[in-house]
Amino acid sequence: MASGSDPKLMERVVNLAKRRGLVFPSSDIYGGFRSTWDYGPLGVLLKRNVKDAWWRSMVQFRDDIVGLDAAILMAPKVWEASGHVATFTDPLVDCRTCKERFRADQLPDSGACPNCGARDSFTEARHFNLMFKTHVGPVEDDASVAYLRPETAQGIFVNFKNVQTTTRKKPPFGIAQVGKSFRNEITPGNFIFRTREFEQMEMEFFVPPAEAPKWFEYWVEERFRWYTDLGIAPDLLRVRPHATEELSHYSASTSDVEFAYPWGWGELEGIANRTDYDLTQHAEFSGEDLSYFDQENDERYVPYVIEPAAGADRATLAFLLAAYDEDEAPTGEGKVEKRTVLRLDPRLAPIKVAVLPLSKKETLVPVAADVARALRAHFMIDVDLAGAIGRRYRRQDEIGTPLCVTIDFETLDDRAVTVRDRDTMKQERIPLDRLLGELRDRLGVKA
C-alpha cells in the first residue's frame, strides 16, 4: 500500500500499534501526556531492530566508523559554542481567540488559525528556545543551569580528539551514536513523527576539507539505499536538497531523505555538510586544539564534517507505514476474509518465528516447547496457543512475523512441521532435523 496515497492509513497504523502492543500513549491511565509515547512489548523489539540495522550498516560492517555513547547532560558551554543557546529557536505565535500556540513558519497561507479558524488573530511572533532547561545539584540558580541535549552530535564533536587519539583513525573516518534527545517542540504531532523526547541515530564523518563535496554525495546515496534495502519502495522516498535560504548556519549543503507520509512528504533523515563549524567553535570556546595533523602530507587542518542524522522513531514509523497492507486470505473453512499484514523486512520484524501447536492437547504442547527451545537461541520467537490456527496466523500477520511453524498430530509420526510464509501464505512440510537451517535460509538472518 502506497503510504502517501491513503489519508486513513495513519489512523489504521495507530490503532494497530495500540491493539498489538507496538506503541501506547504515555501515561495512558491518566489520559495520556501530549506527544509522548511508550513502546510496548513488540514496539520495543521493532525499534531496537531498526537501531541495530543502522548500527550494523554504519559501524559493524565498516572499518572507517567507530561508536560512542556520550552523556545526555553536558557542560552548558557546549551549547553556547554550538550556537544552540543563541539560535536554536522557533518563531512562536498565539491565537488570541482559542489561545493555542503555533510555529509562525507553519501557519496556512490563508492566515486562519488551524485550531479554531479565526483570521487575523495571531500575536506577533517571538523566538522560543527549544532546549529543555534543568538544574544540576541542590541549588537552582544560574550557576547550576544545564540542558537536556537537543541532539547527539555535540557529544561526538567534543569527543573528537579523545576518539581520534585512542583509535588512531585518520580522516576520512566517522563516529556514530544512537541516543535520546529532547526538544521542546511548539507543535509536536502525527503520532511518533514529531515528539519532544526521541531517539537519534547520528554519525559525524570527519574528512579533509577538499573531499567534503565528494563524501556529501556519497552519504546521500548511501542513506537513501539503506531505506530501500530494508524494504521501503523507492517511490515512497525522495531526496530534497535544501535551498540556500533553508540552510542552517553551520551548513554548506544539506539534503533530506523524505518519505511519503499520509499527510505528504516529510523529512526522514537529513544529510549535512557541516564544514569545520563545530570543531572550530569548540576549539575556540574550550581552548583545546581540535585540528588534525596529516603526517603524510605534512599538513594541519580542521576536518570538515558530513553528518547523516536520522530519527529512530521516524524511521520506525516509516517502516510501519510502508509495510502496512490489507489483502484477502482463506479462513480454512472455504471462505475468504480481509487480512491485515505488516510486510516488514525479516531483519526488522519484532518476532521472527511463531511456534503454533495445532491443539492444546498434552501430546502436542511438549513437542512445541522443544521446538521453541531449539529456536529461541537463534531467533526472537513467540509461542501462541490461543484460538483457531487461522486466527493465530492472522495475529502473527498483523505484527509482521515472517514465518509460522505449526506442530500438528502428524508431527508425532513423521517428525516434521508445517512452515507457513507470511507474504505468500504458502505452506511446506519440513523435517524437524532440517528446521533451523531452513528458517535461517528463509529469513536471511542469524538471530
Average pLDDT over residues 69-73: 97
Q: Is-same-fold flag (3-75+150-320; 351-443)?
A: no
Average pLDDT over residues 325-330: 86
Grid coordinates representing 23 are 506503541
Residue 447 pLDDT > 50, yes or no?
Answer: no
What's the whole-number average pLDDT of the chain?
A: 92
Pairing of strands 336-342, 353-357: unpaired
pLDDT band at 155 (very low <50, low <70, confident <90, very high): very high
What pLDDT shows up at residue 255?
98
In tens, the pLDDT along 377-387 reads 999 999 999 88
What pLDDT shows up at residue 1?
47
Residue 361 pLDDT > 90, yes or no?
Answer: no
What pLDDT shows up at residue 420?
97
pLDDT band at 56 (very low <50, low <70, confident <90, very high): very high
- Dihedral-angle region of residue 171 (phi above 0 means left; psi in -120 to 50 means alpha; beta otherwise): beta
Average pLDDT over residues 307-325: 97
Average pLDDT over residues 145-173: 96
Per the CB < 8 A criterion, the answer to whether 50 and 314 are in contact is no
pLDDT band at 331 (very low <50, low <70, confident <90, very high): low
| CATH code of domain 3-75+150-320 | 3.30.930.10
Average pLDDT over residues 288-296: 96
Residue 151 pLDDT > 60, yes or no?
Answer: yes
pTM score, two decimals? 0.90
Exposure of 189 by Cβ count < 10 A (0-12 exposed, 13-18 middle, 19+ buried)? Answer: exposed
**Domain spans, the chain:** 3-75+150-320, 351-443
Q: Measure the CA–CA gap between 403 and 398, rounded to whole angstroms.
A: 12
Residue 243 pLDDT > 60, yes or no?
Answer: yes
Grid coordinates representing 247 are 540552510
Give the phi and the psi of residue 20 in degrees, each rounded to 5: -105, 10
In tens, the pLDDT along 75-113 reads 999 999 998 887 777 788 889 899 888 878 878 888 899
In tens, the pLDDT along 178-236 reads 999 999 887 777 999 999 999 999 999 999 999 999 999 999 999 999 999 999 999 99
- The beta strands (E) that lie in 343-401 are given as 353-357, 381-383
- CATH class, domain 351-443, is alpha beta
What pLDDT shows up at residue 42?
97
Ranges 60-64, 259-263, 359-363: which has the least confidence? 359-363
What pLDDT shows up at residue 332?
59
Average pLDDT over residues 294-319: 97
In tens, the pLDDT along 373-414 reads 999 999 999 999 988 899 999 999 999 999 999 999 999 999
Please report where in the chains the cell 504531532 appears, as a residue. 189
